[in-house]
Amino acid sequence: MKLKWDKSGMKTPLARARGLGAAGHGSDHWMAQRITAFANVPLVIWFVYSLVSLKGADYVSFTTWLAEPVNAILAILFIISNFYHAALGLQVVIEDYIHCEVMKTVKLVVMKLVLFGLGTAAIFSILKIAL
């Protein structure tokens, strides 16, 4: 398999480097990852505290707790922030370690669709209980 950055052939160094860099979008991705990590700190603390306080609760107690607007909103924010943070992190791993361009694209699309689907299902479940 021939990789883009191989020195064989008649390509100039610039031609070999095209398509390999972030093209100015790396700082946006980095900043989004840091913002979601920062947002996850209080959300994870709230989530763990909620799990501990709900230990041993039955279904009715849990659904009553989740039906409260503050808890439902925080749960939805927790889902959005964590799934987006996971997508950003997995994107970096896939881009760094998958060298075949076709497989890289396929894995990125599948990863994003799966995370979007799981996040949508989780938010739908919270809204169904809360409303």
Alpha-carbon span 81 to 54, nearest angstrom: 22
pLDDT at 91: 95
- Regions in the chain scoring below 50 on pLDDT: none
- Residue 52's pLDDT is what? 96
The pLDDT, as a whole number, for residue 103 is 96
At 36, which CATH number? 1.20.1300.10
Q: CA-to-CA distance for 46 and 80, rounded, in angstroms?
A: 15
Cα distance between residue 128 and residue 131, in whole Å: 5
pLDDT at 12: 73
Determine the structural domain holding residue 116 and report its residue range: 28-130
69/92 Cα distance (integer angstroms): 35
100 within a domain of the structure (yes/no): yes
pLDDT of residue 41: 98
- Report if residue 18 sits inside a domain: no
Domain count, the chain: 1
CB 16, CB 7: distance < 8 Å: yes
Cβ burial, residue 129 (10 Å; 0-12/13-18/19+): middle
Structural domain contains residue 11: no
77-107 pLDDT tens trace? 999 999 999 999 999 999 999 999 999 999 9
> How many alpha carbons lie under 13 Å from residue 75 in its C-beta half-sphere?
23
Tell whether 10 is covered by a domain. no
Helices (H), the chain: 13-17, 26-53, 59-67, 69-97, 101-130
What whole-number distance in Å separates Cα of residue 71 and Cα of residue 27? 33
pLDDT at 14: 73
